[in-house]
Amino acid sequence: MSGETGAGGPDAFAELLRELKDRSGLSYGVLAKRLHMSTSTLHRYCNGTAVPVEYAPVERLARVCKATPQELVELHRRWILADAARGRRADGAGESATQNAAAVRHEGEGDSGDPVVIDPVGDDTSPRRSTWPHRRRTALIASAVALVVALGGVAYALRPMGLRARDATAPTIADTRAADSVPEPSATPTADRGGSGPSPSTSASPTAPAGAGHTGSGAARPSATGAPLAVATRPYVYDDPCSQHFLVDSEPAQVGPPASEQDAPRWAAAYGAVSSGEQRVALTVQGTGAETVVLNALHVRVLSKNAPLAWNDYAMGVGCGGGVGTKSFDIALDSGSPTVTVKNGQRAFPYKVSESDPEVFYVTAHTTAHDVRWDLTLDWSSGDRSGTVHIDNAGHPFRTSADVGRPGYDYPLGGSEWIERVGG
């Protein structure tokens, strides 16, 4: 396993996928069946002709191939860079389409004002005059403009998450929170020493509602005041396909089937669910420019701590094997002064990031006695600038509640309803 930190692009991503696949000893057909995807799609991922739009299927593939924690982190890094490279190609395609459409419009008018038609067949490419009426010329120009607009929209949608987040027209964290239906008082701002303005964002209010009603951030979001980094948050990371439990204030007949990790934010929002016992969050931190940004420390802030929720516990799967130990940092929410501690041999802060060299951090918070709303703060510095970025779940605090003594329900493989867990 090469594990090169600076490796990037679709080729490096595909190379690592192939190494994992070859080491597993499983054929493309067997792997595709286990991952519920077509063999041809899996083959394209492994030979570098396609990059998955979402990271979830990549992580499932790596886990089936028994990737190590270090390999999982490196694979996530390479996927980010491959996705960014794909977005740059999409931008280039959009620019090319714009130029081609402009050329069509320019060549579509001759000295007499009549359109000129280029013969696409044969070597003779000399133009010939057409007697098309004026309305046909207008239709041609309108079609070319429509093509430019359509391709431009596709190119924008395919831009990498870092570029989309930095686009001047994209909503910032402050914009997202301003649009939220729940009013939130601002936390005390932290000065950006060497820059101007308050901290990159404000924390969610501890009086926010039950912690669902939102779907997680997903894409990297830069700070509202121009900190040179962006943070993408995955609020529910499954240690294995069955590790995640949710507390829901509904009876089993009113709760739908369990969700995969990819669908967990929407599932939690739909049922007002709260992480049960523990919550595992993944943070992808990436610089927004070529300069190096030093990540000095990661802190946890407990916003509220109450009696645990008296709700039912629903497991997202049954019959799964042990997970891969990728947990890097741990938070004991029941502690009087919780801190982010190093686990599983993970080195402590500081770290360094740039646009071409992101970092992925896994943080697991757990409680056995309380219902806790919490968020994170990340201290950074770059040259003579420094500041703090607040990290939460799309404008809401993360929320984790103890599940001791709560009725538990499983959804058996191949089943059609929730079954009460024996001894749950």
pLDDT reading at 206 higher than 70: no
What is the overall mean pLDDT for the chain? 73
Q: Both 145 and 242 in a single domain? A: no
pLDDT reading at 344 higher than 60: yes
Indicate whether 180 belongs to any domain.
no
The enclosing domain of 57 has a CATH number of 1.10.260.40
Query: 98 pLDDT band (50/70/90 cuts)?
Result: low
Q: Both 119 and 243 in a single domain? A: no
Q: Both 59 and 119 in a single domain? A: yes
Is the pLDDT higher at 343 or at 395?
Answer: 395
Q: How many domains does the chain have?
A: 2
Q: Both 220 and 132 in a single domain? A: no
**What is d(CA 77, CA 39) in angstroms, rounded to the nearest whole number?**
24
Q: What is the pLDDT of residue 267?
A: 93
Q: Both 127 and 229 in a single domain? A: no
Indicate whether 93 belongs to any domain.
yes
Q: Both 155 and 218 in a single domain? A: no
Write out the E strands in 195-256.
221-222, 229-234, 245-248
Q: Both 127 and 246 in a single domain? A: no
Domain boundary among 93, 125, 159: 159
Indicate whether 182 belongs to any domain.
no
Query: 265 pLDDT band (50/70/90 cuts)?
Result: very high
Q: Give 37: exposed, middle or buried? Use CB within 10 Å, 0-12, 13-18, 19+.
A: middle
**What is d(CA 299, CA 234) in angstroms, rounded to the nearest whole number?**
17
Both tokens of 335, joined, read 């502690």
Q: Interhelix angle for 56-64 vs 28-35, to 10°?
A: 120
Instruction: Report the percentage of the chain scoring pLDDT > 90.
Output: 33
Write down the pTM of the prediction.
0.55
Q: What is the pLDDT of residue 392?
A: 95
Q: Both 100 and 216 in a single domain? A: no
Model pLDDT for residues 347-364, shown as the tens digit of each residue: 889 999 998 889 889 999
Q: Which of 49-53, 98-102, 133-137, 161-165 has the lowest mean pLDDT?
A: 161-165
Residue 36, CA distances (Å) to 29, 30, 215, 270 in order: 10, 10, 24, 25
Model pLDDT for residues 317-339, shown as the tens digit of each residue: 754 544 444 548 999 999 989 99
Domain that holds residue 31: 1-159
Model pLDDT for residues 372-396, shown as the tens digit of each residue: 999 999 999 999 999 999 999 999 9
Q: Which residue has the tokens 């990290």?
A: 391
Indicate whether 322 belongs to any domain.
yes
Indicate whether 26 belongs to any domain.
yes
Indicate whether 193 belongs to any domain.
no
Q: Are 208 and 304 in contact (CB under 8 A)?
A: no
Q: Both 232 and 138 in a single domain? A: no
Domain boundary among 159, 178, 196: 159
